[in-house]
Amino acid sequence: MRRHILHMALRMASAIIAAVFMACQCVPPDPPEPTPPDPIDERSEELKDFMNKTELGLYVNSVGIVTYDDIYFQKAWGSGAFRIQRDDQSAYLSIVASTGSASSSYQVEYKNANTNVTLMLLKLQAVKTENSCVWLWNETMATGVIIPEEIN
């Protein structure tokens, strides 16, 4: 009987040793892939602010120079041109596209209560399209316009 118990103990010990040996032979799982860092937003603060604007018009350093107000303004566009004007003509914005590429030249003319008529030739790049409007931007001048998508 003693021999039988010894035989059983040896079998159990062999099974435990085999299990430990097999466990040691297991390859640990690969560590999870690291999550890539969020991309760095390299856009200027002025551009980020401009992209949050919603009214048609001209913005310089994120400040609305001439912006559309449907109570006091009229708007018109067609064939590469866009214009908003105050009913009494005290303020207006006229934009005429001279080319039709993603980075196009535009003639921008405006007047508001604080300025005389100002004319600029700007190279503007489309930075956003939403709700049938396009946001055009010139980083050097920190100047943007929001116009109907049809004229771009």
Rg (CA), the chain: 34
Q: Domain range holding 113?
A: 45-151
Residue 27 lies in a domain: no
Residue 17 lies in a domain: no
Residue 4 lies in a domain: no
Q: How far apart are CA 123 and CA 114, in angstroms?
A: 24
pLDDT digits 0-9 by tens, 31-63: 788 888 877 777 789 999 999 999 999 999 989
Residue 75 lies in a domain: yes
What's the residue count for the chain? 152
Q: Which pLDDT belongs to residue 33?
A: 84
Average pLDDT, the chain: 83
Report, as an integer, the average pLDDT of 103-115. Answer: 86
Residue 98 lies in a domain: yes
How many domains does the chain divide into? 1
> Tell me, what amino acid is at 25?
Q
Residue 122 lies in a domain: yes
Residue 5 lies in a domain: no
Residue 79 lies in a domain: yes
